[in-house]
Amino acid sequence: MQMITTHRGTDFDALASVVAATILYPAAVPVLPGTLNPNVKAFLSLHKDVFDMKTVKDIDFSLIKRLIIVDTNRWDRLEKGNLLKETKGLEVFIWDHHENESDIATSWECREKTGANITIMTRALRKENKSISPIQATLFLCGLYEDTGSLSFTSTTADDAYTAGYLIENKADLNILRTFLQPAYGQQQKDVLFTMLKTAERKRINNYSVSVNCVEIHGHVSSLSLVVHMYREIVNVDVAFGIFVLSGGDKCIVIGRSNVPEINVGSIVRSMGGGGNDGAGSAMLKAVNQDAVREWIEELLRGNQESSVHVEDIMSSPVFFVSQKTSMGNVAQILKEKGCTGLPVVDGEKLVGIISRRDFKKIRKESQLESPVKAFMNMHPVTITPEKSPIHAARMMVKHDIGRLPVMDNGRLAGIISRSDAMRFFYDALPD
């Protein structure tokens, strides 16, 4: 006998992967864990006749010869994983898109870092010329969208997007999709979110705004990751963590969300024994003190700056500048010659202002071209320091609606970073 299964707390990507596996291994029996996410449960109850799924109770483990595991790679994520682990002579296949280290010895595996596991499996189906029904395409797209935040999470790969195209081509129904992907935000989730908001605190760690919140939870509350997601947006921080202490106090769930690429939540929760991707992740901890968990998270955040590229790596240097006595006419000529849109203005070593093309609009008569730049420049230039990240620079330029930032190193003008320097960095790749 062959059995297909996936992780507890089955989400759409996991269910979609199980269904895809039934097409790839027609002789295998699909087995779902007892704990399904509420939206998956709702989907299955509507499609009861379409997807014939078994539960662990229906299966005699001693008869299994081959176990096909999808969307996870750890025994403890499976229902009765400890029993399966001990089953003798079991051949194990894994299809998974998670990066963490696996504790399962396999005879065969397909592991690749993609936004959703269904992306890898759909590719295999296409390769084997297996066709999929509109209902299957709809389910697959649910999984793909849920795991990639409708292709918006930073973990999304080009292959995820191609797969979305393929599934829509195969008649995935976007109306059904919308119905089921609607997150389960109910009274319980609202209560937790309100409690969190009452005690919300913001902190700066490595120049990112961070909020770590701790709440006690009574009974089972689903969709806590959605609550953290909303919390992060409302408190308006780059990174939010929720520490949910389950009543009794011997267990807690840590859920994190990051909105900046430099802070990888997945690697933070992985070092706590959990899992996730760049933008979202969670970990389950046993018998812990919540203050210690909070400190642990903050410590990890301090050490988790992934950006190895800094402003100094992409800024222009040496800088063209003018003295404050330079005439506007001269400035215009320099801007034209150098092909730039603005210049720092200095008094000796000191930065005293910035002049940009925009400032020329203030000129009313031609004679003003003889006036010194001092009369027209912006005397309060926004500056940045060399060790900041390019994304930080880009945000400052957007926030202040300016095209360039002088880079100041210990009071000395060390370079200048322009909007196009930042754009080149984001779109072209890293500097040499």
| Residues found near Mn ion in the complex (CB under 5 A) | 13, 71, 117, 147
If the CB atoms of residues 15 and 215 are measured against Mn ion, the closer one turns out to be 15
* Amino acid occupying residue 61: F
If the CB atoms of residues 13 and 421 are measured against Mn ion, the closer one turns out to be 13
Question: Cβ of residue 315: shortest distance to Mn ion, in angstroms?
Answer: 40
Question: Cβ of residue 277: shortest distance to Mn ion, in angstroms?
Answer: 9
Question: Cβ of residue 308: shortest distance to Mn ion, in angstroms?
Answer: 28
Question: Cβ of residue 116: shortest distance to Mn ion, in angstroms?
Answer: 6
Which 8-state DSSP code applies to residue 10? B
If the CB atoms of residues 6 and 189 are measured against Mn ion, the closer one turns out to be 6
If the CB atoms of residues 41 and 310 are measured against Mn ion, the closer one turns out to be 41
If the CB atoms of residues 181 and 234 are measured against Mn ion, the closer one turns out to be 181
Question: Cβ of residue 1: shortest distance to Mn ion, in angstroms?
Answer: 26
Question: Cβ of residue 143: shortest distance to Mn ion, in angstroms?
Answer: 7
If the CB atoms of residues 15 and 407 are measured against Mn ion, the closer one turns out to be 15
The neighbouring-strand residues paired with 406 are 416
Question: Cβ of residue 117: shortest distance to Mn ion, in angstroms?
Answer: 4
Beta strands 91-96 and 322-323 are: unpaired
Question: Cβ of residue 196: shortest distance to Mn ion, in angstroms?
Answer: 26
Q: CA 211, CA 200: separation in Å to the nearest integer?
A: 7
In angstroms, the Cα distances linking 39 to 139, 179, 180, 222 are 12, 9, 6, 10
Q: CA 107, CA 109: separation in Å to the nearest integer?
A: 7
If the CB atoms of residues 275 and 390 are measured against Mn ion, the closer one turns out to be 275
Question: The tokens of 1 are what?
Answer: 């006998």
Question: Cβ of residue 13: shortest distance to Mn ion, in angstroms?
Answer: 3
* Amino acid occupying residue 370: E
If the CB atoms of residues 10 and 189 are measured against Mn ion, the closer one turns out to be 10
Please count the other Cβ atoms lying within 10 Å of the Cβ belonging to residue 33: 19
If the CB atoms of residues 70 and 268 are measured against Mn ion, the closer one turns out to be 70
Place of tokens 């759409």: 12
Question: Cβ of residue 341: shortest distance to Mn ion, in angstroms?
Answer: 45
Question: The tokens of 2 are what?
Answer: 């062959």
Residue with nearest beta carbon to Mn ion: 13
Which 8-state DSSP code applies to residue 327? B
In angstroms, the Cα distances linking 329 to 6, 353, 358 are 71, 17, 14
Question: Cβ of residue 132: shortest distance to Mn ion, in angstroms?
Answer: 18
If the CB atoms of residues 13 and 262 are measured against Mn ion, the closer one turns out to be 13
In angstroms, the Cα distances linking 180 to 138, 152, 250, 273, 378 are 10, 18, 34, 30, 53
- Tell me the DSSP string of 77-128: GSTTHHHHHH-TT-EEEEEE---SPP----SEEEE---S-HHHHHHHHHHHT
If the CB atoms of residues 146 and 238 are measured against Mn ion, the closer one turns out to be 146
Beta strands 350-356 and 203-205 are: unpaired
In angstroms, the Cα distances linking 259 to 142, 208, 225, 272, 401 are 22, 10, 14, 20, 21
Angle at 43 between CA 40 and CA 48, to 5 degrees: 115
Helix, coil or strand: residue 4: strand
Q: CA 30, CA 46: separation in Å to the nearest integer?
A: 18
φ/ψ of residue 365, rounded to 5 = -125, 155
Place of tokens 């730049």: 373
Please count the other Cβ atoms lying within 10 Å of the Cβ belonging to residue 178: 11
